[in-house]
Homo-oligomer: A and B are copies of this chain.
């Protein structure tokens, strides 16, 4: 892949994220994205096989960035209790620093859920996101730090934590001046209390 190709793809992805975040998925046509990037519509078609490939790239890049941010912070912790705290803290911090990207991905995923056949992809993503939380919970139970969780009650708890994080972002988009630190502290408190033994 040439230098120009890499640079263009990065530019187009960046601009597509901004466009989706600002005008919404339904209004984010290739023409609109191109206009904002000050390039011709044909350039996008040249560098991306289809619009779908562009949108998929947005999701892939977010997932990679998210992994890179969360994983090392999580692995630096010993206690499951600290891991859960850091998981919440770093997720909210990451999301607050990447609101547009997160929002774009959320829009795309919610469209894909409805797209019928692509439900599997959503399920895979879910598993990749939920399992790490479940592992923290399982470890905490094993060490006697957390209250008892069965497999399915740990699943509900993991989902609730994820929903809290995702919902925080939606609130952040609705109210951009939200106090992120305070929100983070409260969420940590809630899930610290509700997991403790």
Binding site for B on A (CB under 8 A): 23-27, 107, 110-111, 113-116, 119, 122-123, 126, 152-153, 156-157, 159-160, 162-164, 166-168, 170-171, 173-174, 179, 182-183, 186-187, 189-191, 193-194
Number of copies: 2
A156 and B152 CA atoms in complex are apart in Å by 25
Q: Is the CB of A113 within 8 A of B159?
A: no
Give every chain B residue within 8 A of A160 (Cβ-Cβ): 160, 164, 167, 187, 190
Among B119, B156, B183, which residue has its beta carbon within 8 angstroms of that of A174? B119
Q: Is the CB of B174 within 8 A of A157?
A: no
A126 and B171 CA atoms in complex are apart in Å by 10
Q: Is the CB of B115 within 8 A of A182?
A: no
Show 23 residue pairs from A and B whose CB-CB distance is below 8 angstroms, ordered by the A residue: A23-B114, A23-B116, A24-B114, A25-B114, A26-B114, A107-B110, A113-B173, A113-B174, A119-B174, A123-B174, A152-B179, A152-B186, A153-B182, A153-B189, A157-B186, A159-B167, A159-B171, A160-B164, A160-B187, A162-B167, A166-B167, A190-B194, A194-B194
Give every chain B residue within 8 A of A163 (Cβ-Cβ): 163-164, 166-168
A194 and B114 CA atoms in complex are apart in Å by 34
Sample of 9 more A-B contacts, CB < 8 Å, known A26-B111, A27-B114, A160-B190: A23-B116, A24-B113, A110-B110, A152-B179, A153-B186, A156-B183, A159-B167, A163-B166, A166-B167
Give every chain B residue within 8 A of A159 (Cβ-Cβ): 167-168, 171
Q: How far is the CB of A101 from chain B (nearest CB, A)?
A: 15
Give every chain B residue within 8 A of A179 (Cβ-Cβ): 152
